């Protein structure tokens, strides 16, 4: 089953995993130590993130290290950018209105 990237990042645990491995790769056990959940639950989250290509696996001997796939995260950022611009424009308009109201009260 092909999973949607936005469904993957909708889960708070998966977002926390992404934040953990953003700076350096970690093993599943090291990741699991940061949560009050089973190692199997963390593995399921990692599988979903891997299927969505948000994280990548690197094998070092017998260990698997998970790290963030920056390319896929950049795709999400590009998609979000259009909405970021809309909100920045709206906030700037609101700031202009509030400044006008403030000047009128003086």
3 pLDDT more than 80 = no
CATH code of the domain containing 22 = 1.10.10.10
pLDDT of residue 4: 83
pLDDT of residue 2: 66
- Residues 99, 48 share a domain: no
- Residues 100, 55 share a domain: no
Q: What is the pLDDT of residues 17-62, one digit of tens each?
A: 999 999 999 999 999 999 999 999 999 999 999 999 999 999 999 9
- Residues 12, 58 share a domain: yes
Residue 13's pLDDT band (cuts 50, 70, 90): very high
What the block records as the tokens of 3 is: 């999973």
**Higher per-residue pLDDT: 65 or 102:** 65
Q: What is the pLDDT of residues 70-100, one digit of tens each?
A: 888 888 888 889 898 899 898 889 989 999 8
Distance CA 7, CA 25 (A): 23
- Residues 63, 21 share a domain: yes
- Please give the tally of structural domains in the chain: 2
- Residues 62, 18 share a domain: yes
Range of the domain at 82: 70-106
- Residues 28, 5 share a domain: yes
Q: Which helix (H) or strand (E) holds 56?
A: strand 55-60
């Amino acid at each position: 089953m092909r999973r949607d990237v936005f469904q993957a990042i909708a889960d708070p645990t998966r977002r926390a995993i992404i934040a953990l491995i953003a700076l350096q790769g970690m093993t599943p056990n090291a990741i699991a130590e940061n949560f009050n959940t089973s190692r199997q639950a963390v593995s399921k989250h990692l599988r979903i993130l891997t299927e969505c290509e948000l994280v990548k696996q690197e094998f070092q001997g017998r260990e698997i290290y998970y790290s963030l796939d920056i390319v896929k995260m950049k795709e999400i950022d590009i998609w979000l950018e259009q909405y970021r611009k809309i909100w920045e424009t709206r906030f700037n308009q609101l700031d202009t209105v509030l400044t006008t109201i403030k000047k009128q009260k003086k």
